[in-house]
Amino acid sequence: MTARLGLGTYRCLDVCEAAAMAASQGADWVDTAPNYESGQAENSLAMVLGMYPDLHVSTKVGFVADSAKRLGVQAGALSAEDAERGHCLAPDYVGWQVARSKRRLGRTPDLVFLHNPEHHCASEEIADRLLVAFLALEEACSNGTISAYGVATWRGFSSGLLDVGTLLELASKAGGPQHHLRAIQLPISMVHLAPVAHALDGYGVLVDAVEAELEVFASAPLHGGEITGMITQELSDLIRPGSTPVQSALAVVASAPGVRRVLLSTGNREHWRQAADAVGQPPLSRETLRRITDVLGT
């Protein structure tokens, strides 16, 4: 299986503890954002990143943590209106926030995702919003503030507002043929099966990402923990006989064409071990994935 389990910190109450646990169990990636853990997630990760220099880290820019609003306005990087709105992808703010993230993490992040660029954005404005943000991120890559960037979205691809082809076109405008767009992040789960079904039919965001050599990060693989109450043992056995509902759900996500990282939010060591075992198994066959999408729909 090409997918690997990574730590997503959105739901982690103690990011430092969760990251230390995951790293001690062999995790090689942790994903965070400046607004997670009440605005302290990046600071919380710094100690763990120092202890595990081979642990990769991605963060985000877009949502403005409450603790950053006053500082951003004082720095001239954030307008009062955007601070009140709580989301900003203006170039001055992007540059200011990624530099702040690097300081707080104590190292250059491996990836910085634009965080839900579709947030309060009309369809006719999304291309311009992305282009100016990509320009700021390419500048950050050039000066060594970040290593690469991507787009993390909840509904951008499913709504049709975003597509991989447009992202590549805008990245090329911003950075030329050697642009630094490297990844996308989107929800894939037993609730969000459409990307999997489309990929089995040979089209869609996952197929496009593979062709573009973009890494795919699957977020919310358990849909906030709701999956366990939705999967019967009969369905679990259809997916992988003898597996638990959580393990079978993770197996589906990890087997989705093109998925490279499955981001699980947990601080529980046993939950992590079970998840790592599920993701580490051989991938489900396309026939099994097809049966699942046929049974559950998209």
Per-residue pLDDT of the chain (298 residues; tens, 9 = 90+): 479 999 999 999 999 999 999 999 999 999 999 999 999 999 999 999 999 999 999 999 999 999 999 999 999 999 999 999 999 999 999 999 999 999 999 999 999 999 999 998 888 999 999 999 999 999 999 999 999 999 999 999 999 999 999 999 999 999 999 999 999 999 999 999 999 999 999 999 999 999 999 999 999 999 887 777 788 888 888 899 989 999 999 999 999 999 999 999 999 999 999 999 999 999 999 999 999 999 887 6
- Cα torsion for 219, 188, 175, 76, to the nearest 10°? -40
- Identify any residues that bridge with 259 across adjacent strands, giving them in sequence order: 216
Contact 189, 219 (CB under 8 A): no
Q: What are the Cα distances from residue 246, in Å, to 71, 225, 227, 256, 267?
A: 41, 9, 7, 16, 16
How far apart CA 140 and CA 280 sit, in angstroms, is 35
- Tell me which residue of 50, 10, 6, 12 sits closest to 268, measured CA to CA: 12
| Count of CA atoms in the C-beta half-sphere (13 A) of 94 | 23
Give residue 228's pLDDT: 72
Give residue 297's pLDDT: 72
Give residue 268's pLDDT: 95
Structure-token match 């004082």, residue found: 74
Q: Phi and psi at residue 31, in whole multiples of 5°? A: -115, 135
How far apart CA 176 and CA 274 sit, in angstroms, is 43
Give residue 27's pLDDT: 97
Contact 63, 123 (CB under 8 A): no
Contact 131, 166 (CB under 8 A): no
Give residue 298's pLDDT: 66
The single-letter code of the amino acid at 275 is: A
Give residue 233's pLDDT: 84
**R_g (Cα) of the chain, nearest Å:** 19
In sequence order, which residues have a C-beta less than 8 Å from that of residue 229 and are 6 or more positions away? none
How far apart CA 195 and CA 204 sit, in angstroms, is 7
